Amino acid sequence: MLGKLIKHSFKANASAVYNVYIAMGIVGIVMLFLMLIDWTSWGDRGITMGMVFKGIAAFALCLTALVGVILTFVAVFGEFERSMYSKEGHLTFTLPVKSSSLLLAKWISGSFWVILSYTAFCLCVFCSTLYLMRQSLAMVEENDVAYSVYEMVRMLIDELSEYGGLIKVPSMTVVFNLVTLYGFNGGIRACTFVLQVYFGITLARCRPFHKIGHKLGKVLYFFGAFFVTFTFAQIVTKLISIHLVISENMFTFTISQREVETAWSLGYGAMGITNLYVTAVLSVLLFLITALLIDRKVNVD
């Protein structure tokens, strides 16, 4: 049943946001098209025009991605509220499934779309930046985007190192591991964010918390959940700060700040994991509380 719930929830969200991804694809194609045009054949004026059009296209791509993030939020959270607590709730709550399965399906589907919108936004900003930089940086090599970006970042870090001397440029493998881990970190936080909103919406429907009204209630209770999660994670991180040191082929845990600094200076990477771990645990707790509220306290109007 969980699979079917996820399928229907996924389709409900997709029907609201697919237009944005089509728009992103179209803008991307326009950008490629503008890149293929030989603007120099129109002389200096053509080169200037080409720069302007490319700038507009890059800006449009970033803007479309930003709209995509906002629309995804509206679609995911709107769909949750509509399907659970409006007239559609009469259908949802009479399905022979557990409340926790309902919530889990919404959570998985909602998190997927939110993470996808974040990823699309980051990729669009990244591609737009690279697209514009290609025009001005001769060092960027054709057909090797990853290498090109790496070279650019390395150049930037080399510049910074001349002043601070604290960071050595990590190898591509370490950079890849770091990006993967930081991506995972971002994913967990996106999932937590989605659940915090679901919790806020749900609590605003429960007695006696509904008395301040659904609209105000869901905002207040979301910020309450966000504040509690954030503060608790920060406090625990202050007390026990554990880092994961990432080298070329090894991951090691450390609680020493000096070891973290040494890792960066040796060309390795490091990521604090206490905060992430506490946030993940609190997410599970928030999920259980929300499922319990749905099971015991929520009424469908």
Specify the residue, 85 or 221, whose C-beta has the smaller distance to another protein: 85
Helices (H), the chain: 2-36, 43-85, 89-92, 99-136, 145-163, 172-203, 214-239, 257-265, 274-296
Q: 205-224: which residues touch another protein (CB under 8 A)?
A: 206-207, 211
Q: Which stretch binds another protein (CB under 8 A): 20-28, 89-97, 148-156, 221-229?
A: 89-97
Work out whether 8 is an interface residue with another protein (CB under 8 A): yes
| Cα 40 to Cα 42: distance, rounded to the nearest angstrom | 5
Specify the residue, 209 or 287, whose C-beta has the smaller distance to another protein: 209
Work out whether 89 is an interface residue with another protein (CB under 8 A): yes
Q: Which stretch binds another protein (CB under 8 A): 53-61, 88-96, 164-172, 269-277?
A: 88-96
Work out whether 289 is an interface residue with another protein (CB under 8 A): no
The CB-of-5 to another protein minimum distance in angstroms stands at 8
Specify the residue, 94 or 143, whose C-beta has the smaller distance to another protein: 94
| Cα 225 to Cα 222: distance, rounded to the nearest angstrom | 5
Geometric angle at alpha carbon 156, from 152 and 162, rounded to 5°: 145
Three-state helix/strand/coil letters over 151-183: HHHHHHHHHHHHHCCCCCCCCHHHHHHHHHHHH
Structure tokens at 295: 């099971």
| Cα 251 to Cα 256: distance, rounded to the nearest angstrom | 15
Q: Among 55, 178, 70, 175, which residue's Cα sits nearest to residue 118? A: 70
Which positions from 127 to 166 touch another protein by CB under 8 A, shown as an x/- string?
Answer: ----------------------------------------
The CB-of-56 to another protein minimum distance in angstroms stands at 34
Specify the residue, 97 or 188, whose C-beta has the smaller distance to another protein: 97
Work out whether 295 is an interface residue with another protein (CB under 8 A): yes
Residues 6+ apart with CB under 8 A from 246: 174, 177, 178, 181, 263, 268, 269, 270, 271
Specify the residue, 98 or 154, whose C-beta has the smaller distance to another protein: 98
Single-letter amino acid code for the residue at 171: S
> How many beta carbons lie within 10 A of that of residue 68, not counting itself?
23
The CB-of-204 to another protein minimum distance in angstroms stands at 15
Residue of the chain from 87, 153, 223, 257 that contacts another protein (CB under 8 A): 87
Q: Which residues bind another protein (CB under 8 A)?
A: 1, 4, 8, 12, 15, 82-83, 87-91, 93-98, 206-207, 211, 295-300
